[in-house]
Amino acid sequence: MKVPLVELDGDEMTRVLWALVKEKLLLPYVDLHTEYYDLGLKRRDDTNDAVTVEAARAIARLGVGVKCATITSNEARKAEYALERLLPSPNATIRAILDGTVFRKPITVQGLRPAIPAWEKPITIARHAYGDVYKAAELAIPGPGTVELVYTAEDGSVTRRKVADMPGSGVVQAMHNIDASIRAFSRACFRYALGERLSVWFAAKDTISKTYDQRFKAIFAEVYENEFRADFEKAGLEYFYTLIDDAAARIVKSRGGFLWALKNYDGDVMSDLIASAVGSLAMMTSVLMSPSGAMEFEASHGTVQKHYYRWQKGERTSTNPTALIFAWTGALARRAALDGLPDLGAFAGRLERAVLDTIGAGFVTGDLAPLCEKPPAAVLDSWAFIDAAAQRLGTAGK
């Protein structure tokens, strides 16, 4: 390796598997260079989250990062880890710094039956990574009064809009987005889709949100017409906009094989729906692409908290490491492409093949057992699964 990967370590069960994957599947084969950031919850707390910001800047500087799942702190975690403070979600912080788009793509394997059998091909989700509810200002309203939105322009002129006359206590939320970010998001979607030869669906709720969601719809249409329509038509692909509820209904009956672009919150929810419909949260990868070309790879599941507590009691859990492994292979392949290292790229491909073949041969973790078309050969714990993949990788040659 010529340029180090930015490595962001995390929490709980995924942290345990992170170390195991490196030990068994990476270090024996790759002269691995990483710039390491510990995003474990305690360390983020100790540094008042400076470590998260440094890691995000390192990804912007070096171009490629790989991230383990991390705990987003809440009151329960504050007590559990004796934290000084509640910090924002590290992913939200990183996304805001890189201003990227998150693409989530299911990992499909022959022999695993998706919960929605109509889907012949995976549905890739593109999630806008800036703003909306993730950057909202919220206020608890103690009692009766008037809530307003106020915009003060640079020249001092003021525009006000009444939100509500509050008859009693309640809550209010104000969120925003920026045209430049929406435009960058739409370009990232169209560019990614052309590369992967996918049609694009974009869904929002402009019938209700006549200014906010309407802006998203208009920017997508403008960017498509001016910059992408010709290339899409040449490739036999299409773009269309539809309402989010219509899209949700049509997705279930579709055959898959397209890119579904979604606003930040919709993308968060729908990617979990797609992943679990595909079979398991552990069979979904996630990549954040910034307009500058920097990329961060991760699994789309969380830290698998319940398994971690069982592991702490001594159990060898059957947690599926596939998406974590694919985060590493995605990052290594990207580094290989940027730095002209074909051997490294080929290794990433072999490791993915070894994992898919292990699953395809019926050696699976517990989450996949119910999805197997034929009875699995063996249901393995994470350690045995990683050993089985390592064995296949070994016989595939170094």
Question: In the complex, which residues of this chain contact ligand NAP (CB under 6 A)?
Answer: 69-72, 91, 281-282, 298, 301-306, 319-320, 367
Smallest gap from residue 193 Cβ to ligand NAP (A): 23
Smallest gap from residue 39 Cβ to ligand NAP (A): 9
Q: How far apart are CA 323 and CA 363, in angstroms?
A: 16
Residues 68 and 14: beta-carbon distance below 8 Å: yes
For ligand NAP, the closer of residues 281 and 332 by Cβ is: 281
Contact characters 258-277, Mg ion, x per CB under 5 A: ----------x---------
- Regarding 296 and contact with Mg ion (CB under 5 A), the answer is no
For ligand NAP, the closer of residues 257 and 302 by Cβ is: 302
Q: What are the backbone dihedrals phi and psi of residue 204, each rounded to the nearest 5 degrees, phi first?
A: -150, -155
The interface partner of residue 303, options being ligand NAP, Mg ion, none and the CB cut-off 5 to 8 Å by kind, is: ligand NAP
> What distances in angstroms separate CA 97 from CA 100, 101, 192, 294, 296, one per listed residue?
8, 12, 21, 11, 12
Strand 199-204 to strand 34-38: parallel, antiparallel, or no bridges (unpaired)? unpaired
For residue 92, count other CB atoms closer than 10 A to its CB: 16
The interface partner of residue 367, options being ligand NAP, Mg ion, none and the CB cut-off 5 to 8 Å by kind, is: ligand NAP
**Residue from 285, 271, 388 nearest 333 by CA:** 285
The interface partner of residue 268, options being Mg ion, ligand NAP, none and the CB cut-off 5 to 8 Å by kind, is: Mg ion
The interface partner of residue 101, options being ligand NAP, Mg ion, none and the CB cut-off 5 to 8 Å by kind, is: none
For ligand NAP, the closer of residues 49 and 206 by Cβ is: 49
Q: What residue is closest to ligand NAP based on CB?
A: 302
> What distances in angstroms separate CA 165 from CA 107, 160, 208, one per listed residue?
49, 14, 20
Smallest gap from residue 119 Cβ to ligand NAP (A): 20
Smallest gap from residue 392 Cβ to ligand NAP (A): 20
Q: What are the backbone dihedrals phi and psi of residue 302, each rounded to the nearest 5 degrees, phi first?
A: -90, -155
Q: What residue is closest to Mg ion based on CB?
A: 268
Q: How far apart are CA 330 and CA 326, in angstroms?
A: 6
Tell which positions 329-368 bind Mg ion, by CB under 5 A.
Answer: none
* Size of site (CB under 5 A) for Mg ion: 1
Q: How far apart are CA 301 and CA 32, in angstroms?
A: 25
Q: How far apart are CA 394 and CA 174, in angstroms?
A: 54
Smallest gap from residue 313 Cβ to Mg ion (A): 27
- Regarding 132 and contact with Mg ion (CB under 5 A), the answer is no
For Mg ion, the closer of residues 213 and 268 by Cβ is: 268
Smallest gap from residue 40 Cβ to Mg ion (A): 20
What is the sign of the dihedral through the CA atoms of 308, 382, 7 and 300? negative
Cβ-Cβ contacts under 8 Å for 95 (sequence gap 6 or more): 102, 129, 130, 134, 288
From first CA to last CA, the distance across the chain in angstroms is: 16
Smallest gap from residue 268 Cβ to Mg ion (A): 4
Please give the distance of CA 378 from its chain centroid, rounded to a whole number.
Answer: 30
Q: Which two tokens stand for residue 292?
A: 């500058």
Smallest gap from residue 1 Cβ to ligand NAP (A): 25
The interface partner of residue 45, options being ligand NAP, Mg ion, none and the CB cut-off 5 to 8 Å by kind, is: none
For ligand NAP, the closer of residues 113 and 306 by Cβ is: 306
Q: Which residues bind Mg ion (CB under 5 A)?
A: 268
